[in-house]
Chain A
């Protein structure tokens, strides 16, 4: 089991960067779960569509309503991952 603490050693995972970039969280309480679900999605699918993102993420509730930025951040993280993969 990987938890948010195990995602990266230095907050340098693409999702963490994208989450900061898009200023996703509000209260933050659900965000560890959101990030980890997104990590599982991106592991299986490097270019998720809108439909694939919402299908993968619909099990995670956010009461603050950060959903619009969650979607943007996942798209951004996918871009970061793909750029890194292309370069290497």
Chain B
């Protein structure tokens, strides 16, 4: 691929005499709809031969600092081991529009091409500088291990020696990307580059940030979502040693966010009302906070109760549902049906439970704000902070710190706003520290949802119509995208109702897919049994049946491609799991950008569910690092297993009942199944692996449980009673 000259904003010599490229790539150069301009990407080579890679994505455990470094080093010809990786801050001055977003399993997908292009340009300039100095043809030179080598004479010069000269050259418009056969790092199972600093205690997270003169805040928030303070007495708290101040944070409900118009994942959020105890240490702030006396007004959510909430759904009339998507004649198909199968599924609120509790350091001085946060979405944080405080956007600097887990929680701007509001009031740096209890009780939860599925079968036991009614508290739900798995259904309809939520919701690893795949893939299994067809065959039949009336050839082509991938992962998971040879297996498939199928093998041991093995098959395009893919998928399986076994946030009197790991259990090492990951080889552009492994797990296990015991569980989490 050649690179056009007009794609570059500028090249300038860096202050240290090295090479600094600010590369702007056009949207068309980025093979994804996620990117709204990858404006600047810096390639920096210091005179001492240090190659610096600016990481524009947050490291939160997904391994992106290793993955993208591999991509960059490989294309540049740099020595990966000696390369320096710097986390790029979000700063409007640099116009890093994409860099502030880490989510949707999109990092490799969105950066793969621009990072390679930028590195290829730099490589070409370094090679030309070397060739000129030796008066040879650049075609005789290549870059390797941060040096340029002249092949015929074996002479070499380091990038550092060449950087100053290279920076004076014109930008080449014919830099070529490497052929995959030339890759040194990409595609290899390389170990995480950060392990060493993690096992020596040198790795710094947001929680480790300290700035001079910093005060600490612990906040008693309204126990009821969007409640307010009726009255309070902070006199005892103020007497506590180390307490500097007690500051009220007023409830802030943002109905619609402004910002990137193209970004349709912007939505409302709430900063809960509360009293912040400001002290000279976290310990003093947390202790003094217990001395606060607050009378709350719960407001509209004061009486919210999980049980009545679920019961109330029964009283929602059909007319309240709005049709989301429809095709064919559903009513007629049901009239003519030989058989109708229906079932209702329910999935609860669930917490993220990051190991590192939420925190942010903010320092506001007049019209200037600097913050340090482990954020997935620095741009949104900066925008919201600007909107809330009136501080000009260009004066808001957000430093992005590595996170001890994120899973979607660090997408929400409530916790940085708290820190900024307090710092603005005090005109001093403030670190807001959440406790584990704050974290579980004031999360932006995985949404509650109930799906009522209904299908019509003809006399040959084929599905002729499918209707699903979704009752959801999801902020995202626009109705399940039909058809989630490319099953061929002639007549279908999705209807939905957006329920007011008594708690705040937000993205949770795999977002709506977790709910939708659970209900769709559980239900299709039920339909298969009802039709007396083996469940894998039933799915494959629906995937090979011609799609009746696709509007045009192009979409037919994409549907076919999509169906092929679904088929491939189903068949691979089945083959590797010994499908058909055991009676305790269940299968399910999902598609979160990457297609992923899973087969679970289960047993009941004295009324307890034992998940013995999970076989995962994924098609995620070209694989940058198979070790990272495996780690992400194993992690996704365990994340989903926690939800199925122990998930479920309950609300009583408007208050979240769970508070810590004793009543909101996590998966422990002694309940980990064998997890085998299989990757479909592919030369397609990379897709994503952080989330696709989550959705298929619950239905695969529940389908396996049905195969093994005849029990059909339609509600998460699994309860003891379910298994009796």
Residues of A within 8 A of B (CB): 3-5, 7, 11, 15-16, 19-21, 23-32, 35, 53-55, 57-58, 60-71
Partner of B355, one of A3, A23, A30: A30
Report, nearest first, the 5 A-B pairs whose CB atoms are least far apart. Answer: A29-B404, A27-B61, A65-B638, A65-B635, A26-B61
The reply to whether the CB of B195 lies closer than 8 angstroms to some CB of chain A is: yes
**Interface-side segment among B128-136, B199-207, B265-273, B510-518:** B199-207
Determine whether the beta carbon of B205 is less than 8 Å from that of A25. Answer: no
Residue numbers in A under 8 Å from B635 (CB-CB): 26, 64-66
Question: Shortest beta-carbon distance, A69 to chain B, in Å?
Answer: 7
A contact residues around B194 at 8 Å (CB): 25, 28
With a cutoff of 8 Å between Cβ atoms, the chain A residues found around residue B61 in the complex are: 25-29, 64
A61, B200: Cβ atoms closer than 8 Å: no
A contact residues around B403 at 8 Å (CB): 27
> Which of B199, B404, B636, B670 interacts with A27 by CB under 8 Å?
B404
Cβ of B353 under 8 Å from chain A: yes
A29, B668: Cβ atoms closer than 8 Å: no
- A24, A32, A62, A70: residue with the most chain B Cβ atoms closer than 10 Å: A62
| Cα separation A29 to B201 with both chains bound (whole Å) | 10
Q: 15 A-B contacts, Cβ less than 8 Å apart?
A: A4-B199, A16-B200, A23-B191, A23-B631, A24-B195, A25-B195, A25-B199, A29-B355, A29-B356, A31-B198, A32-B199, A64-B355, A64-B635, A65-B637, A68-B675
Choice from B62, B199, B631 contacting A69 with Cβ under 8 Å: B631
Give, as a whole number of angstroms, the nearest-CB distance from B187 to chain A: 16
List residues of chain A with CB within 8 A of the CB of B100. Answer: none
> Most chain-A CB neighbours within 10 Å: which of B59, B61, B638, B675?
B61
Chain B's interface: helix, strand, loop or mixed, by majority? loop
Residue of B nearest to A6 (CB): B201
Q: Tell me, rounded to whole Å, the shortest Cβ–Cβ distance linking A8 to chain B.
A: 8
Flag whether B423 is at the interface (Cβ < 8 A): no
| Complex interface: chain A residues within 8 A of B11 (CB) | none
CA distance A44 to B638 in the complex (A): 29
B405 CB-CB contact with A under 8 Å: yes
Contacts of B200 in A (CB 8 A): 4-5, 7, 11, 16
Contacts of B195 in A (CB 8 A): 19-20, 23-25, 28
Q: CB < 8 Å: which of B199, B666, B672 contacts A63?
A: B666
Distance in angstroms from A14 CB to nearest chain B CB is 11
The smallest C-beta distance from B157 to any residue of chain A, in angstroms, reads: 32
CB distance from A50 to the nearest CB of B (A): 10
Known: A26-B635, A69-B631. 7 other contacts (CB 8 A): A21-B191, A24-B195, A29-B356, A57-B669, A64-B635, A65-B637, A65-B639
With known contacts A11-B196, A23-B192, A54–B355 Cβ distance under 8 A: no
* In the complex, chain B residues 668-693 whose Cβ is within 8 Å of any chain A Cβ: 668-670, 672, 675
- Neighbouring B residues of A11 by C-beta, 8 Å: 196, 199-200
List chain A residues, Cβ under 8 A from B627: 23
User: Does A35 lie within 8 Å of B199, measured CB to CB?
Assistant: yes
What is the CA–CA distance of A62 and B639 in the complex, to the nearest angstrom? 10
Tell me the smallest distance from the CB of A18 to a CB of chain B, in Å.
9
Interface size, B (range): 35 or more
When C-beta atoms are compared, the residue in chain B nearest to A51 turns out to be B670
Q: Which residues of A contact B404 (CB under 8 A)?
A: 27-30
> What is the bound-complex CA distance between A23 and B637, given in angstroms?
18
Q: Interface centre among A23, A25, A30, A53, by most B CB within 10 Å?
A: A23
- Closest B residue by C-beta to A50: B670
Distance to closest chain B CB from A1 (angstroms): 13
Expressed in whole angstroms, the Cα–Cα distance for A69 and B192 within the complex equals: 13
Report the minimum CB–CB distance from B626 to chain A (whole Å). 12
Contact check, A62 vs B199: say whether CB atoms are below 8 A apart: no
Contacts of A62 in B (CB 8 A): 355, 669
B62, B192, B669: the one contacting A70 at CB < 8 Å is B669
Q: How far is the CA of A4 from the CA of B256 in the complex (A)?
A: 45
Nearest to B406 among chain A residues (CB) is: A27
Give the CA-CA distance A68 to B669 in the complex, in Å: 8
Contact of A66 among B59, B631, B637 (CB under 8 A): B631
Task: Check B353 against A63 for contact (C-beta < 8 Å).
Answer: yes
Assuming the A-B contacts A16-B199, A16-B200, are A65 and B667 also in contact, with contact meaning beta carbons closer than 8 angstroms in the complex? yes
Quick check: B201 and A3 within 8 Å, CB to CB? yes
**A27 to B194 CA separation, bound complex (whole angstroms):** 10
- Hey, which chain B residues are within 8 Å of A30, CB to CB? 355, 404
Residue of A nearest to B203 (CB): A28
Query: A20: which of B196, B355, B634, B669 is its contact (CB, 8 Å)?
Result: B196
